[in-house]
Structure 1
Amino acid sequence: MTSVLITGCSSGIGLETALAFARRGDRVHACVRNRDTAEQLLGRARAEDLTLDVPLLDVTDDTSVTAAVTAVQDRHGPIDVLVNNAGVDRTGPVETMPLDQARTLMETNLWGPLRMARAVLPQMRARGGGVIVNVSSLAGRTFAVPHGGFYAGSKAALGALSEALYAEVQPFGIRVVCLEPGSFASAIQRAPAPGTAGQASGTGPYAADHAWLARFLARVAEGAADCAEAAEAVVAAVDDPGTALHTTVGKDAEAALKFLAGVPYEQWLPSFLDQAQSLAGPRPAPPAGDR
């Protein structure tokens, strides 16, 4: 029986991935930050008569990570597969986005997977095998959109970290995969979170532009794919030793990378703005006093 530990399982891709592995009969440790957020996961599992272990784990906290991983290994033995799925999104201008929000992105999207990998790698090396799947984003492989620099930066950094880790642990028989989903109907897609409270700021030189981007993201989310498709890709990546390090998930992701091949940012940006304006209306001009 394969032992699979997955972070961020309260909703979206993490929830669907936990159920997908449980349906195969794997021992699944579906981690959540607090018990209150696990009801949807547990309800779905009960409905399908699936067995799940649901540890509490906060990927931004060293003590929480160590305690959760140690407890899982003590009770159930070595972890064969780690799926680093937990992630958050915030949008905001490079100049004015609160730094605590930018740090939250990095703590969760970059340092979180690093903490988790460091926690499981000693026992994977000792056994000479294991799989680490880092769930990144298409945003880490494509050009950053306005107000999306910090999120894209966190995911691009995760991709670079995955590359180095891939090379470092390969001699120990450990595989690393960096999955890069496009638009999926996750909690992030349903509720983009500009600024500090999930809504575009009502003041400042970038406020109107930020609100415009939020309208565009909301429209994009309307056509997002089912997270079960992304979960299937995670399972397939674990099963197939030939899975590429960088693996896109979703037709939109594949199309985007193909379109961007060899295209400079300066040429791409006007086409992006045209698409955004077709969905969200004309991009607002900056306030006269702030130009």
Structure 2
Amino acid sequence: MRSVLVTGCGSGIGLETALAFARRGDRVHACVRDPATAGELLRRADAEQLTLDVPRLDVTDDASVTAAVTAVQDRYGPLDVLVNNAGVDRTGPAETMPPDHARTVFETNFWGPLRVARAVLPGMRARGSGVIVNVSSLAARTFAVPHGGFYAASKAALGALSEALYAEVQPFGIRVVCLEPGSFATAIQRASRAGAADGQPPGSGPYAADHAWLDRFLARVAEGAADSAEAARAVLAAADDPTTPLHTVVGDDARAALEFLDGVSYEQWLPRFLEQARSLAGPRPAGPR
């Protein structure tokens, strides 16, 4: 039985990952930022008669991370597996995205995984083993879409950090894997499209129409998103298989996207992307002249 801590278990990949580890008999610490969001997780665990520990852990809060990890390790010892899954998205233009929105993206998607890794690494080093799985995104490996720069940048930063961490902790018997899923059905997609991301009322601001157009496109893409259980299976495989590459893409769409981009410049890609978006969301609004 391994001791596994998963962040962001209120929905999506985190929820499915926690249940998948529990089905195998692992001791699972399925962390949520707000206990009120754990209803679906607990309902499904109860239906399958699975045992889960559900600590409160906010990856953007140092004290919350320290308290949760300390409580788990004081009771059960050093963790065997950490899955840094918690993440957020906020779409919006580079010029007008409110700084607090952009900081939230980086606090959650970059600093959050680092906070939790720092909390668990001393125990893993002392024991001489452990696995850290950072859930990044295909957005870290492809070109950034309009209004998606902050999310892509945060995930690319997580990928770079994973590379350095991989080399640093390898001598201590600790593995690091950075998973890069394509489009999966998660709450992050709905949250990214909630409200006007440029902080202005709908219908106002220089980018409002373009942002609304992109949101229509993202909503259509999300309709065909794969089941998060597939991504959860990839997390378990990464935790089990020591030959898993540091950068591992997840999903048929992710693999196809990387093949398509091989040797393609941004200038070649952008017109193709805009044409795909037009086919799903209609003509792109014309800017002011």
1:188 positional shift: 1.6
After TM superposition, the score normalised by the length of structure 2 is 0.97
Give the match's secondary structure for 1:55: coil
CA distance in 2, matches of 1:13, 1:253: 16
CA distance in 1, matches of 2:257, 2:200: 27
CA distance in 2, matches of 1:95, 1:190: 23
1:190 positional shift: 3.8
Decide whether the 8 Å contact of 2:84 with 2:113 is kept in 1: yes
Task: Within 5 Å, give how 1:116-155 maps onto structure 2.
Answer: 116-155=116-155
Return the letter of the residue paired with 1:284. P
Task: Within 5 Å, give how 1:57-206 maps onto structure 2.
Answer: 57-193=57-193, 195-196=196-197, 201-206=202-207
Give the match's secondary structure for 2:29: strand
- Bigger shift: residues 186-195 or 75-84: 186-195
**Residue 211 of structure 1: aligned partner:** 212
Decide whether the 8 Å contact of 2:88 with 2:192 is kept in 1: no
After TM superposition, the score normalised by the length of structure 1 is 0.97
1:76 positional shift: 1.5
Cα distance change, pair 58–44 in 1 and its aligned pair in 2 (3 A): same
CA distance in 1, matches of 2:230, 2:85: 15
**Residue 287 of structure 2: aligned partner:** 286
CA distance in 1, matches of 2:23, 2:176: 23
The superposition leaves residues 180-230 of structure 1 with CA deviations (integer Å, 9 ceiling, x where unpaired) of 000000002244336449998431111100000000000000000000000
The superposition leaves residues 23-78 of structure 1 with CA deviations (integer Å, 9 ceiling, x where unpaired) of 00000000001111000000000000000000000000000000000000011211
Where does the alignment leave 5 or more consecutive residues of structure 2 unmatched?
none
**Residue 278 of structure 2: aligned partner:** 277
CA distance in 1, matches of 2:185, 2:247: 21
Return the letter of the residue paired with 2:58. D
**Residue 265 of structure 1: aligned partner:** 266
Identity of aligned residues (%): 81
CA distance in 2, matches of 1:139, 1:162: 15
Where does the alignment leave 5 or more consecutive residues of structure 1 unmatched?
none
CA distance in 1, matches of 2:201, 2:36: 27
CA distance in 1, matches of 2:279, 2:147: 18
Decide whether the 8 Å contact of 1:92 with 1:210 is kept in 2: yes
Give the match's secondary structure for 1:53: coil
The superposition leaves residues 92-149 of structure 1 with CA deviations (integer Å, 9 ceiling, x where unpaired) of 0000010100000000000000000000001111111100000000001100000000
CA distance in 2, matches of 1:130, 1:89: 29
Task: Say yes or no: does 1:6 pair with 2:41.
Answer: no
Decide whether the 8 Å contact of 1:200 with 1:214 is kept in 2: no
Q: How many residues align?
A: 288
CA distance in 2, matches of 1:185, 1:198: 26
CA distance in 2, matches of 1:74, 1:118: 16
Return the letter of the residue paired with 1:53. D
Return the letter of the residue paired with 1:235. L
CA distance in 1, matches of 2:279, 2:249: 26
Give the match's secondary structure for 2:192: coil
Decide whether the 8 Å contact of 2:89 with 2:191 is kept in 1: no
**Residue 245 of structure 1: aligned partner:** 246
CA distance in 1, matches of 2:115, 2:226: 29
The superposition leaves residues 224-255 of structure 1 with CA deviations (integer Å, 9 ceiling, x where unpaired) of 00000000000000010000000000000000
CA distance in 2, matches of 1:198, 1:113: 27
